[in-house]
Amino acid sequence: MVITVQCNAQRWSVLDPQTRSTQMFSSGAAAFDAAVSRASEHHRRTGQHSTVRVEALGTAVDALHFGL
């Protein structure tokens, strides 16, 4: 599973494909922390790989992996 932290027009959000929801945050750090928590919990609960991807300024990077 890939959880995406996204910055669009200086607004930070976390996109969770499992719940198909988007949650808004006031800062990138808060969004990243929430994404890490979700990815960690997903890996702990299911044993499946999970990734936190950060998208900003037209670029994306996989910042953190669980289970690799």
- Residue 14: per-residue pLDDT: 97
Q: What does the pLDDT look like over 8-58, one tens digit per residue? A: 988 999 999 988 989 999 999 999 999 999 999 999 999 999 999 999 999
Could you give the count of Cα atoms lying within 13 Å of 16 in the half-sphere of its Cβ? 17
pLDDT exceeds 80 at position 68:
no
pTM: 0.91
6 pLDDT tier (thresholds 50, 70, 90): very high
Q: Give me the pLDDT at residue 9, please.
A: 86
Nearest to 10 by CA among 56, 52, 63, 60: 56
